[in-house]
Amino acid sequence: MQEEGTADVVFFDGSVRQPSDFVEMFKNSGARLFVARIDDQDVGILYLTDFDYRTAVIHFCVFKEWWGNPVVKDLARFCLEEILSWEDAAGRPIFDALIGRTPSSNTHAIKFLQSVGLKTVGEIPKLFWSYKDQRSIDGTISYITRGTE
């Protein structure tokens, strides 16, 4: 991600400035990381953060060489369906909803989320901090629920 220039877009708040920050994020925050693969090739990552009773925030990062490849959307839909089907030991769903929080200026990411089944709720002014711009920026909220993917 760092070599292809997507790290600054994904971690726009400045929380990950170097590889060790990325490792620490998953060691100390409770976030869960998954690598999306097709055959033997890494397509991207997705990770879950901000767990709350049956919800989590989902984050996607598709590696540049896979941008525009239609199979990526199929893989993302599969991942969403899989995560929303997880159950605990008693057979209860772990997640009822996954939430997307995206800088409103990242229209490609918002369109991608919509194309894989997330519904856009709306925009919240000044939701995020932009490290690059050193100011607050607007954010778009989206979601997908179990049974509607």
Q: Do the beta carbons of residue 74 and residue 23 sit within 8 Å?
A: no
> What DSSP string describes 108-127?
HHHHHHHHTTPEEEEEEEEE
Q: In sequence order, what are the residues at sequence separation of 6 or more whose Cβ sits closer than 8 angstroms to the Cβ of residue 133?
A: none
| Position 1 in a domain | no
The single residue listed with the structure tokens 């009773």 is: 53
Please report the pLDDT score of residue 149 as a whole number.
Answer: 46
| Position 2 in a domain | no
| CB-based contacts of 41-49 (< 8 A; 24+ apart in sequence) | 43/72, 43/75, 44/72, 45/1, 46/76, 46/79, 48/83, 48/98
pLDDT averages per 10-residue partition of the chain, 149 residues: 57 62 76 90 91 94 89 94 96 96 93 96 93 90 86
Domain span at residue 79? 7-145
**Do strands 41-52 and 55-62 pair parallel, antiparallel, or not at all (unpaired)?**
antiparallel
Please report the pLDDT score of residue 61 as a whole number.
Answer: 86
Whole-model pTM?
0.86
Number of domains into which the chain is organized:
1
Please report the pLDDT score of residue 63 as a whole number.
Answer: 86
Q: What is the CATH number of the domain that holds 55?
A: 3.40.630.30
